[in-house]
Structure 1
Amino acid sequence: MPRPISRDTRLCMSLSGRPGNFGTRFHNYLYEALDLDFVYKAFTTTDLPAAIGGIRALGIRGCAVSMPFKEACIPLLDELDTSASAIDSVNTIVADDGRLRGYNTDYSAVASLLASHAVPRDIRFVVRGSGGMAKAVASAFRDSGYRHGTIVARNPQTGPALARGCGYAWLAELGDEEPQMLVNVTPLGMEGGPDADALAFTREQVAATDWVFDVVALPVETPLILLARELGKPVITGAEVIVLQAVEQFVLYTGVRPEAELIEKAAEFARG
């Protein structure tokens, strides 16, 4: 039987332009399984300063931060962990005695996946996108020793800035380039979005590459991942990213690291 919510129950939350159910189901499953007096709820907002102020004022323990708030929230926090300050992007806020500290668990999740999938460090890759998540992804590549990268982004400010910050090239469009790894860090293919059926790269570009990495987590099998599998390409999925980063958030909020088997059960439940 679930633990009843009381005045002592600690609240964790998420802020996103498009709130989903994965984090809510994942964290609450683990709270119940581990008998932790926590509850998790997803929110969106049209007033970010007020929302962040509410975290501080109400003693909310932690907050996951998604698009489009990952950079905008930074001036509203008291301090940044090195995982966030190195890339100027926050995906996790932890409150301690009214002080708000920003972290970026996306960064560590991507670095971990590059290592576990044994992606060669000399590979030529492109990252499509230049927002907060793209900063985390590109920086994880850079700090993991990947030197041959290109940022593909139409935004003439954020695209070149991200490329310069990571020591990579910049292109507004991929054009005729044929990199060995394609990385999508845009909302293209995202479930429930206006571009849910869109591909971040063409069929020809996917056919010509060696690896495909789609950071979009929902659906689990995005149009890009489905195409890559059809063409026999090894893939890294956003579903893998979302689980790893959520686990690190859970640890930051509760101080408890679940066993691997329990994490997998929570992930399966969250996707259901």
Structure 2
Amino acid sequence: MKPPIGPATRLCMSLAARPGTFGSRFHNHLYAALGLDYVYKAFTTTDLPGAITGIRALGIRGCAVSMPFKEDVIPLLDGLEASAAAIDSVNTIVNDDGTLLGHNTDYSAVRTLVEALDADRTAPFLLRGSGGMAKAVATALVDAGFTNGTIAARNRAKGAALADRLGLTHVADPAGLEAAMLVNVTPLGMTGADADALAFTPDQIAAASVVVDVVAKPVETPLLRAARDAGRTVVTGAAIAKLQALEQFVLYTGVTPGDEQVAAAEAFALAG
């Protein structure tokens, strides 16, 4: 049984411009299932340096980092784990007695999922986005052997820099381009103002064999629905969210839950 909240309770948190419920529900469900004296709470902030100072000062054990803070948080930390350093993007902070280390569990989650695909590694992919999550996803694809790619990003400087670093091509607009794998790493299709937006055209979806959408809420984005209707293989944002959150959970607590416990936590998180 989970202990009642008290002075010994450890706090974990998330920082995002648009806080969601997945992380809070996933982590808190597992805390309860495993009887761990932890609490997880989602936050947003307009004072990122102040928020990071608070993590350190209050002994907050861990913090998930989402858009738009994944790159801006780096100079505020004490160090980076290898994948976060290579990508120059952080989605997880672990606090060890006041020392804040940045990790990137997005990278490992995406790499695990794309390495499991039965797909031609030499076929082209087209990725929309250029922010911190795009860095993690694009690097995971290249490291998994998908090296023939194009980064489509309206931010020409960031898009070109990401493409150059990975040996890929950059374009400002994906219109008219076709690829075997389509990857959406933008808010298009996310609950809110962009909920009805389709990240790629029906013609692009028809020409693809695999569609990846990092948006986790809603579970079925317009892009995923269109891809499923066209009979395409999909990698969902919910699958990415589960794997990266599970790695965060282990980093924060040192406890590895069982498969059934993870499945129950995922179902609970997606129902919220």
- For Structure 1 versus Structure 2, the TM-score category normalised by the shorter chain is over 0.9
Structure 1 Cα separation of the partners of residues 155 and 184 of structure 2? 15
Instruction: Confirm whether residue 41 of structure 1 aligns to residue 32 of structure 2.
Output: no
Structure 2 Cα separation of the partners of residues 258 and 78 of structure 1? 29
Report the residue type matching 2:174 in the other structure: L
Matches within 5 A, 1:69-218: 69-192=69-192, 194-218=193-217
Unaligned segments of structure 2, at least 5 residues:
none
Given the two structures, how large is their TM-score scaled by the length of structure 1?
0.98
Instruction: Confirm whether residue 236 of structure 1 aligns to residue 235 of structure 2.
Output: yes
SS in 1 for 2:155: coil
Task: Out of 78-87 and 199-208, give the one that drifted further.
Answer: 199-208
Per-residue Cα deviation, 1:156-201 (whole angstroms, up to 9, x for no partner): 1101000001110111112332111100000000012x11110111
Q: Is the 8 A contact 2:183 2:212 kept in 1?
A: yes
Per-residue Cα deviation, 1:52-96 (whole angstroms, up to 9, x for no partner): 000000000000000000000000000000010000000000001
SS in 1 for 2:211: strand
Report the residue type matching 1:250 in the other structure: F
The 1:255–1:117 alpha-carbon spacing in structure 2 relative to 1, beyond 3 Å, is same
Per-residue Cα deviation, 1:120-178 (whole angstroms, up to 9, x for no partner): 31121011000000000000011111110110111111010000011101111123321
Structure 2 Cα separation of the partners of residues 257 and 119 of structure 1? 30
Structure 2 Cα separation of the partners of residues 166 and 267 of structure 1? 33
Unaligned segments of structure 1, at least 5 residues:
none
SS in 1 for 2:156: coil
* Structure 1 counterpart of 2:6: 6
Report the residue type matching 1:206 in the other structure: I
* Structure 2 counterpart of 1:261: 260
Task: Out of 205-214 and 241-250, give the one that drifted further.
Answer: 205-214
Q: Could you tell me how far 1:2 is from its partner in structure 2?
A: 4.5
Q: What is the percent sequence identity of the aligned residues?
A: 63
SS in 1 for 2:87: coil
Structure 2 Cα separation of the partners of residues 222 and 156 of structure 1? 26
Q: Is the 8 A contact 2:2 2:37 kept in 1?
A: no
Structure 1 Cα separation of the partners of residues 33 and 194 of structure 2? 36
Structure 2 Cα separation of the partners of residues 175 and 37 of structure 1? 50
Structure 2 Cα separation of the partners of residues 17 and 97 of structure 1? 27
Q: Could you tell me how far 1:116 is from its partner in structure 2?
A: 2.1
Task: Out of 255-264 and 103-112, give the one that drifted further.
Answer: 255-264
* Structure 2 counterpart of 1:20: 20
SS in 2 for 1:100: strand
Report the residue type matching 1:139 in the other structure: T
Q: Is the 8 A contact 2:2 2:36 kept in 1?
A: no
Structure 2 Cα separation of the partners of residues 39 and 179 of structure 1? 43
Structure 1 Cα separation of the partners of residues 20 and 66 of structure 2? 10
Structure 2 Cα separation of the partners of residues 253 and 13 of structure 1? 11
Structure 2 Cα separation of the partners of residues 137 and 171 of structure 1? 17
Report the residue type matching 1:123 in the other structure: A
